[in-house]
Structure 1
Amino acid sequence: MGCQCSAFDNNDEIRTNIAEPLIDIIKSQFEEYKVLVYSKSDCEDSQKVKQIFRQNNVTFEYFEVDNMNEGPQLLALLQKITSRKNPPFVFIKGKFYGSSREVRNGFASGELSKALLN
């Protein structure tokens, strides 16, 4: 079951008014962290993806967007970047990888473990 981001229901202003500094912050985070997760603190899938990384001894950074002042704008930007509506948003080496399902399948197939070694 995915998490709902009710902040985006019928709110076109958030979708279109994304501050440039926020985009720059996101880009710098992509460069700084090999594995980056944007999640929500009350999201079951967000908790699952973090648990999967911990079980596989993967060092990762995460941000709980619902606890951030710029959270609504950040979620709008992540939705635009990923074409996904709900967290978690997992980035590997600055590229969108997916959500908990893709991470779980990536480890099961060995693809993600291999990608993290390179």
Structure 2
Amino acid sequence: MDRIAKLASQKAVVIFSKSSCGMSHAIKRLFYEQGVGPAICELDEDSRGKEMEWALVRLGCNPSVPAVFIGGKFVGSANTVMTLHLNGSLKRMLRDAGALWL
């Protein structure tokens, strides 16, 4: 859990993902299309990925990926992020975290 907290606080937007996960790909694309360059942690390419995946599940992320952190705080997985995007809250969160300047 400490490793996740440390990684999540290193950039305004951090996405824990798996390179083979379609939903992870969709969420990364959503952020890129918003003009945000998130830090991406591919759990299937990290030697401690399985450990981090279990920590994300304990945090309440089910399925474990994608797991999105904005401003160092856990936002949620794909469903939560898409809901925030559709209701307009995501842009505000990104601005408040310093990930967007417009």
Task: Give the TM-score band, short-chain normalised.
Answer: 0.7 to 0.9
Task: Provide the C-alpha distance between the structure 2 equivalents of 1:43 and 1:30, rounded to a whole number of angstroms.
Answer: 20
* TM superposition score normalised by structure 1: 0.73
Off by >4 Å, runs of 4+ in structure 1: none
Counterpart of 2:5 in 1: which secondary structure?
Answer: helix
Task: Provide the C-alpha distance between the structure 2 equivalents of 1:83 and 1:43, rounded to a whole number of angstroms.
Answer: 15
Tell me the residue number matched to 2:54: 76
Say which one has the larger Rg.
1
Tell me the residue number matched to 1:62: 40
In the alignment, is the contact (CA less than 8 A) between 2:56 and 2:64 conserved in 1?
A: no
In the alignment, is the contact (CA less than 8 A) between 1:82 and 1:96 conserved in 2?
A: no
In the alignment, is the contact (CA less than 8 A) between 2:69 and 2:75 conserved in 1?
A: yes
Q: For residues 84-109 of structure 1, what are the alpha-carbon distances to aligned partners after superposition, in whole Å with 9 as ceiling and x for unaligned?
A: 23311111112221222222221221
Counterpart of 2:9 in 1: which secondary structure?
Answer: helix
Code of the residue aligned with 1:70 in structure 2: it is: R
Asked if 1:36 is matched to 2:14, the reply is: yes
Q: Percent identity?
A: 29
Task: Provide the C-alpha distance between the structure 2 equivalents of 1:83 and 1:24, rounded to a whole number of angstroms.
Answer: 16
Tell me the residue number matched to 2:31: 53
Count of matched residue pairs: 96
Within 5 Å, which residues of 2 pair with 1:101-112? 101-112=79-90
Q: Which has the higher helix share?
A: 1
Code of the residue aligned with 1:99 in structure 2: it is: S
Unaligned 5+ segments in structure 1 are 1-22
Tell me the residue number matched to 2:100: none
Tell me the residue number matched to 1:113: 91
* TM superposition score normalised by structure 2: 0.84
